[in-house]
Amino acid sequence: MKTPIPKEGEIVRQWHVVDADGQVLGRLASKAALILMGKHKPTYTTFLDTGDHVIVINAEKVRLTGRKDQQKLYRRHSGYPGGLTEVGAVKMRATRPTKMIEQAIAGMLPKNKLGKQMYRKLKVYAGPKHPHQAQQPVELSPS
């Protein structure tokens, strides 16, 4: 018996809304990455993007466990000598709260062209509103 592989036109994509209010960052990111990859579907295939779209709202209210609020650092490098920039989690939450969730989810996706394609289906918003009501997104349970 041959394994059925879905064609591009046969893949049905849904929209899911995840409320980050009070949820732990890592647990939220792993759930969102699972949906973006399509691992929750019986048609999951490793070399195809069968995943759904994910909308994360209330990104500024996501929770970090332990002492990560004071100790966690977000690093980036400009490419020039001495170009390392470090930003703490408190400052990152104050200035760019969406970036925290985006980086956490991107780290859990494949590091190739397929992962970039999956990442494009992620939308993160700092507040409770999003402009995707026309897609009729389904609320995702916090468990």
Over range 28-55, report the average pLDDT: 95
Can you tell me the distance from the alpha carbon of 78 to that of 87, in angstroms, rounded to the nearest whole number?
Answer: 14
pLDDT digits (tens, 9 = 90+) for 82-105: 999 999 999 999 999 999 999 999
Q: What is the pLDDT of residue 66?
A: 96
pLDDT digits (tens, 9 = 90+) for 1-12: 788 899 989 999
Confidence check: pLDDT of 142 > 90: no
Over range 14-33, report the average pLDDT: 96
pLDDT band for position 143 (cuts 50, 70, 90): low
Per-residue burial over 45-84, b = 16 or more CB atoms within 10 Å of its CB, e = otherwise: eeebbbbbbbbbbbbbbbebeeeeeeebeeeeeeeeeeee
- For each of the domains in the chain, give its residue range(s) and CATH number, in order of start: 14-139 (3.90.1180.10)
Q: What residues pair up with 75 in beta bridges, in sequence order?
A: 86
pLDDT band for position 115 (cuts 50, 70, 90): very high
Can you tell me the distance from the alpha carbon of 108 to that of 69, in angstroms, rounded to the nearest whole number?
Answer: 21
Can you tell me the distance from the alpha carbon of 96 to that of 92, in angstroms, rounded to the nearest whole number?
Answer: 5
Q: What is the pLDDT of residue 95?
A: 96
Q: What is the pLDDT of residue 3?
A: 83
